[in-house]
Amino acid sequence: ASSSERPWKPCTARSPTTERFFDLNPIHRTAPKEGEKRKEGDEGSWHARGYDYGANFTINFCGAVVEELENVQGLEKSMWKNVSAFYEKDDKQYAIGLESYEPVFRGRKLVLNYTGGSLCPSSNKKRSVHNPVSLPLSPRKIIVDNGDDDDDDKDKDDKEKDDKDKDKEDGKPKSDGERRKTTVISLLCESDPLTKTSISFVASIDDCVYFFEGRSPYACGGVEAAAQSLGPGGVFGVIVLIAVLVYLAGGCVYQRTVMHQRGWRQLPNYAMWAGIGGFLKDIFIILTSSCTRFLPSRRGYSRVSLGHDSRGRGRRNEDENRLIDNLDEEWDD
């Protein structure tokens, strides 16, 4: 499959203009495992100062924040573990985006976008000093009262109400008060590899959309490392197999062409391998012959045969002695 068809690893992207590969996983921070203490100097998630906003921000790249949230406003408790950016104000926490693992490109800019945070404040409220953005007023319609349109207006209002209720059931936002806070992080390349990753707050629009700028050496991109299908053990095994094949092939060619050997003698170091084979054969014979001595049938047969032979020899000796004594007596007479 081509690079465009192959699914990317989470938190990675390829530039459509430069074809450079970007991997943001190294700047993703994780919580310590159960039973482990946080390392000294580990500050948890990334932090950004909101100098003129009145609150500081806590953010993580491509994942939820490390910190445990306890009082997130306008968000179901089951979603607190998925918050990737938040700020705290008046002992209350406000989520400004849920986790996302898909960096995208806006032209040549690498952007990470978090959506679905806490509810945005209503646009009808007065704009704060930190966000003096106002929306233009829409022109009002001129309504002519002819005295006969009361029923039509009532029907129209009922229809609009039904449409709003239908939109509410579909989960669509009906007003600014139902919009949710969103975070946009623009990642810039920090060419100095010794410089640490940093993130800074840029601006906020209507307390609903928050812009940040991140600088990191990992935002410079590079060449994608080819996936290694074999582990270290597999690579070592392949090298050993190639060496054995070269040894056998080269040895056979030498023995056949130079030494004019045929058959099994074409194998390199045939005498050594034949000696090893004979040694193993002798060991096998010794072991098997030693085991046969302890077989019950062989042991019982040996005892019987030995006893019979000893009794037969004894009787034969007695007869011979008796015959010699008789001959001696006759000779004396």
Six-digit token string for 182: 């969103």
- Map tokens 């011979």 to a residue: 320
Q: How confident is the model at residue 124 (pLDDT cuts 50, 70, 90)?
A: very low
Strands (E) located in 170-319: 182-189, 198-205, 209-216
Q: Which domains does the chain have, with CATH numbers?
A: 7-32+41-121+177-224 (2.70.130.10), 233-290 (no CATH)
Greater pLDDT, 320 or 57? 57
Greater pLDDT, 129 or 271? 271
CB–CB of 79/103 below 8 Å?
Answer: no
By CB atoms closer than 10 A (0-12, 13-18, 19+), residue 46 is buried
DSSP one-letter code for 33: P
- Map tokens 């499959």 to a residue: 1
Question: For position 111, what pLDDT does the model report?
Answer: 94
Q: Mean pLDDT score of the chain, rounded to an integer?
A: 76
Nearest alpha carbon to residue 100 among 120, 110, 122, 115: 115
Question: For position 22, what pLDDT does the model report?
Answer: 92
Q: What value, to the nearest 5°, has the Cα angle with vertex 17 and ends 15 and 21? A: 25
Greater pLDDT, 153 or 220? 220
- Give the three-class secondary structure for 156: helix
Position 23 pLDDT exceeds 80: yes
- Provide the whole-model pTM: 0.55
Nearest alpha carbon to residue 60 among 261, 174, 199, 193: 199
Question: For position 183, what pLDDT does the model report?
Answer: 96
Helical H runs in 140-208?
150-170
Nearest alpha carbon to residue 20 among 224, 191, 218: 224
CB–CB of 254/268 below 8 Å?
Answer: yes
CB–CB of 187/221 below 8 Å?
Answer: no
- Residues 261-280 have a mean pLDDT of 82
User: What gap in Å lies between CA 185 and CA 203, rounded to an integer?
Assistant: 11
Q: How confident is the model at residue 226 (pLDDT cuts 50, 70, 90)?
A: low
Greater pLDDT, 177 or 235? 235
Question: For position 283, what pLDDT does the model report?
Answer: 84
Q: Is the backbone of residue 260 left (phi > 0), alpha (psi -120 to 50) or beta? A: left
Question: For position 159, what pLDDT does the model report?
Answer: 55
- Residues 247-276 have a mean pLDDT of 83
User: What gap in Å lies between CA 294 and CA 323, rounded to an integer?
Assistant: 44
Question: For position 232, what pLDDT does the model report?
Answer: 81
Give the distance, in angstroms, between the CA of residue 291 and the centroid of all CA atoms in the same chain.
55
Position 294 pLDDT exceeds 80: no
Which residue type occupies 274? A
Please tell me the number of Cα atoms within 13 Å of 203 on its side-chain side: 5
